[in-house]
Amino acid sequence: MAEVSYQPSALRPAQGVGGSIGDFIALMKPRVMSLVVFTALVGMVLAPQQPHPALAVIALVCIAVGAGASGALNMWYDADIDACMQRTAGRPIPRGHVTPDEALTFGTVLAIGSVATLGLTVNWVAAVLLAFTIAFYVLVYTMWLKRRTPQNIVIGGAAGAFPPMIGWAAATGSVGIESIVLFGIIFMWTPPHFWALALYRARDYERAGVPMLPVVAGADETRKQIVIYSALLVPLGLWPAFMGLAGGLYVLVSIALGAVFLAFALAVYRTREGREADYAARRLFAFSILYLFGLFATLLVEHGINRFID
């Protein structure tokens, strides 16, 4: 698909008045951060060797802070389009609670601090992966892809898939094929997850000039791509069992969650108009979060049970 360049709507810069602690926490996108930390924890726990508990905590804190840095730098760069969208207009910069310069400084300090701390206290393999993840999210996704191509989520989604690899590297000092499988699951999950959101927020993205797939290719093509990626995701979700990372409980959970995920994706494909279409997209978006959490939580629980039995 050819790239399409959009320019965001013009708006006046927000004037900050000295943000509160809550405003700076909001800059870090805490809900996204929590998913990042959780998937990194799973990667760390599944690794064949475990770091000292104190180092494990430091690693997870650094990963959380690095994710927060990415969020702050994303909000700094996207302040103009955030102000145009109903979903993001309440963020600290569009509301004038934090200035763009404050967000840039805050994000930069967090990024440098998290990478340096992770490297000096845990290992530099994990630190380099964290630095690459932050750079990929900010430079590749936010600054390059997001405003230029409807493939922004497909390629840029890799940034959100790195945390299990960082957790694994924090534990082992290397990147194992098993952590790459976990990366692959999140990478394949990201497009249907965000395209479901984009379907019922298409007017928001269109108003802001962001070339999300429903805006550029239309809702029907987006629904088709959601089904394709969902069909690829479901069998990939079983792959940890074939790699020896999971057992029977995970297989059952993966099949059950995958069947519901695919059923909801097909419902999105079949439902084309009105409130029913929005409902189908919202339902898939909400369930997709449960799907990913369910898979990784089962890996964590099953691994814990196995360690207890051993």
Last residue of a domain, one of 155, 175, 195: 175
Domain CATH number, residue 30: 1.10.357.140
Element of type H or E holding 222: helix 219-236
Statement to judge: residues 164 and 101 lie in one domain: yes
Q: Find the domain containing 218 and state its range.
A: 176-305
Statement to judge: residues 23 and 171 lie in one domain: yes
> What are 51-80's pLDDT values in tens digits?
999 999 999 999 999 999 999 999 999 999
Statement to judge: residues 26 and 169 lie in one domain: yes
| % residues pLDDT > 90 (the chain) | 87
Statement to judge: residues 139 and 192 lie in one domain: no
Angstrom distances, CA of residue 54 to CA of 51, 57, 59, 111, 119: 8, 5, 9, 21, 15
Last residue of a domain, one of 125, 152, 175: 175
Interaxial angle between packed helices 163-172 and 177-200, expressed in degrees from 0 to 180 and rounded to the nearest 10: 160
Average predicted confidence (pLDDT) for the chain: 92
Statement to judge: residues 182 and 290 lie in one domain: yes
Is 104 contained in some domain?
A: yes
Q: What is the pTM of this model?
A: 0.92
Go through 138-159 and write b for each residue having 16 or more CB atoms within 10 A of its CB, e for each that does not.
bebbbeebbbebbbbbbbbbbb
Task: With beta carbons less than 8 A apart as the criterion, state whether 289 and 39 touch.
Answer: no
- How far is residue 29's CA from residue 10's CA, in Å, rounded to a whole number? 24
Name the residue type at position 111: A
- How far is residue 122's CA from residue 52's CA, in Å, rounded to a whole number? 10
Instruction: Name which of 216, 200, 191, 201 is nearest 88 in CA terms.
Output: 201
Statement to judge: residues 76 and 217 lie in one domain: no
Statement to judge: residues 129 and 228 lie in one domain: no
Last residue of a domain, one of 146, 175, 204: 175
Q: Would you put residue 52 in left (φ > 0), alpha (ψ -120 to 50) or beta?
A: beta
Statement to judge: residues 277 and 166 lie in one domain: no
Statement to judge: residues 281 and 293 lie in one domain: yes
> What are 141-191's pLDDT values in tens digits?
999 999 999 999 999 989 999 999 999 999 999 999 999 999 999 999 999
